[in-house]
């Protein structure tokens, strides 16, 4: 019952299929309420799944229209509940996709040629897709928002679930880390700033578009493909220095002064501001660290490691006083996994360089200093890690994996709520399935509803 999210290319394939079928007479396969599901809609979704290589467990001409029918039930409820989807959120999503297409295809004209439609029509279609997605998501969220499993609920769920249904938990580790950011020469910083000032002058003079420069030169890979566009963001989401500069911009034709954040150095252009949210473009450059400065940082951490191994200092103490990793410094150096909000990591969730070191260590070992890329800032830094604990792969156990089982319990409860809701919703909505689309083993009893409503 999860909301189907369209990737950019997946959506492109689906839209092209729809365009190619524009000249074919539409054939109705299902009707839900007053909403038809056309054969071309089903074919579009099937082609989309093939393009994305999504496995469909069963007959696609049964599974796909049923999922589309379920989505229409949620959309009907969204209309009844007058669910509001923030237009700024949808607009940001649409513009990000448009910029993505332009960046990959080369120009607006090539995008129109590729999709065989003008940009306004493409925006309209994308807007419909994302509005539906967010509406469905909001209805589902409202239905399940109060689900919160207590320890008693988790124990009951664990005791009732067939033990062969418990997931296998891959090997996990707990680790501590100390990091140092090498000193960056002032000359390198000056060169980065000079490049950014040159980009700003090119934009201000009208020589080049900000978005073009962002695509070509910005080192923020997540936004560069969209012409540097961040989408609408609130102040709390943005880095403080970036937010201060962005919210002080008033002229969409001007470029900010150079802004320094933990990520590097930016220039920013305002696209639009709506209340407490702002949409900007930016170009990010990160100064390079010299080999000399990396070597000095490695030498310093090697001395720290020696003091810890010799018993002169504790790892936790050194993490507090010298580590520059903000997330772990005040937590005794313990690394925190944002994916599951715990101190446990599967090996694949660790930064690559950390995982490589830990794979060769035993609990209690402290690595030699090594160079790694900070996963947030994408800057080089030097680190040492201590393997605190290794939990071998095993079937989920209540004592060892309480949070995992709690998540399973809550997910099961939510799924049941949504399933029961669909069953009840079917009773109040007209359902008709055309001959040729009925010979299926559906998840829900649509044929009973179809027969009842057809009398």
pLDDT, tens digit (0-9, with 9 covering 90-100), for 204-218: 999 999 999 999 999
- 3-state secondary structure (DSSP) of residue 191: helix
The sign of the CA dihedral 212, 214, 218, 220 is negative
Look up residue 70 and give its two tokens: 């379920």
Model pLDDT for residues 215-264, shown as the tens digit of each residue? 999 999 888 888 998 888 888 889 999 999 999 999 998 999 999 998 89
CA 396 – CA 408 distance, rounded (Å): 11
Long-range own/partner contacts, residues 243-251 (CB < 8 A, 24 or more apart): 246/270, 246/278, 246/280, 247/273, 247/278, 249/273, 249/278, 249/280
CB-count exposure of residue 338 (10 Å: 0-12, 13-18, 19+): exposed
Would you state the pLDDT for residue 159?
94
Q: Enumerate the β-bridge partners of residue 86.
A: none
pLDDT (mean) for 183-188: 90
Lowest average pLDDT, out of 21-35, 188-202, 212-226, 305-319, goes to 21-35
Residue 449's pLDDT band (cuts 50, 70, 90): low
Lowest average pLDDT, out of 41-55, 77-91, 112-126, 324-338, goes to 41-55
Residue 348 CB coordination number (10 Å): 8
Cα 441 to chain centroid distance, Å, stands at: 34
Would you state the pLDDT for residue 326?
83
Residue with tokens 């309420």: 33
CA 313 – CA 334 distance, rounded (Å): 17
Would you state the pLDDT for residue 95?
75
Closest CA to 408 of 203, 219, 147: 147
Domains belonging to the chain, first-starting first, are: 8-147+414-454 (1.10.4030), 172-184+290-395 (3.10.50.40), 186-285 (3.10.50.40)
* Residue 210: C-alpha distances to residues 215, 225, 264, 396 (Å): 9, 13, 18, 51
Helix or strand holding residue 19 (H, E): helix 8-20
Q: 95 or 67: whose pLDDT is higher?
A: 67
Residue 3's pLDDT band (cuts 50, 70, 90): very low
Lowest average pLDDT, out of 56-70, 226-240, 276-290, goes to 226-240
């Amino acid at each position: 019952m999860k909301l189907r999210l369209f990737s950019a290319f997946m959506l492109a394939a689906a839209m092209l299929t729809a365009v190619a079928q524009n000249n074919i007479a539409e054939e109705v396969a299902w009707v839900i309420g007053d909403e038809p599901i056309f054969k071309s809609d089903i074919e579009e979704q099937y082609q989309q799944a093939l393009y994305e290589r999504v496995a469909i467990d069963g007959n696609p001409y049964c599974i796909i229209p049923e999922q589309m029918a379920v989505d229409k039930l949620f959309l009907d409820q969204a209309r009844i509940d007058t669910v509001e989807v923030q237009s700024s959120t949808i607009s940001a999503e649409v513009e990000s996709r448009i910029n993505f297409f332009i960046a990959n295809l080369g120009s607006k004209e090539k995008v129109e040629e590729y999709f065989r439609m003008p940009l306004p029509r493409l925006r309209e279609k994308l807007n419909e897709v994302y509005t539906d997605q967010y509406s469905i998501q909001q209805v589902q969220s409202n239905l399940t928002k109060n689900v919160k499993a207590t320890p008693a609920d988790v124990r009951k769920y664990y005791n009732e679930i067939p033990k062969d249904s418990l997931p296998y938990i891959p090997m996990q580790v707990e680790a501590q880390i100390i990091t140092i950011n090498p000193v960056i020469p002032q000359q390198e910083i000056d060169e980065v700033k000079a490049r950014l000032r040159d980009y700003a002058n090119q934009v201000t003079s009208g020589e080049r578009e900000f978005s073009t420069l962002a695509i070509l030169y910005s080192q923020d890979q997540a936004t560069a493909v969209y012409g540097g566009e961040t989408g609408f963001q609130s102040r709390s989401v943005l880095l403080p220095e970036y937010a201060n500069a962005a919210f002080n911009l008033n002229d969409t034709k001007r470029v900010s002064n150079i802004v320094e954040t933990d990520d590097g150095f930016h220039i920013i252009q305002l696209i639009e501001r709506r209340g407490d949210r702002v949409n900007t473009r930016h170009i990010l450059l990160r100064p390079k660290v010299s080999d000399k400065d990396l070597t000095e940082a490695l030498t310093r951490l090697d001395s720290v490691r020696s003091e810890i191994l010799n018993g002169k200092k504790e790892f936790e103490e050194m993490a507090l006083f010298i580590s520059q990793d903000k997330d772990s410094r005040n937590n005794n150096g313990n690394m925190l996994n944002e994916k599951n909000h715990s101190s446990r990591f599967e090996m694949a969730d660790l930064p690559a360089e950390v995982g490589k070191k830990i794979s060769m260590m035993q609990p209690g070992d402290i690595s030699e200093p090594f160079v790694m890329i900070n996963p947030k800032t994408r800057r080089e830094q030097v680190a040492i890690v201590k393997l605190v604990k290794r939990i071998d792969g095993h079937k989920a156990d209540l004592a060892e994996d309480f949070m995992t089982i709690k998540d399973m319990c809550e997910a099961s409860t939510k799924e049941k709520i949504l399933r029961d809701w669909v069953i009840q919703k079917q009773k109040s909505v007209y359902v008709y399935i055309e001959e040729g689309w009925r010979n299926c083993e559906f998840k829900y009893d649509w044929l009973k509803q179809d027969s009842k409503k057809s009398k």
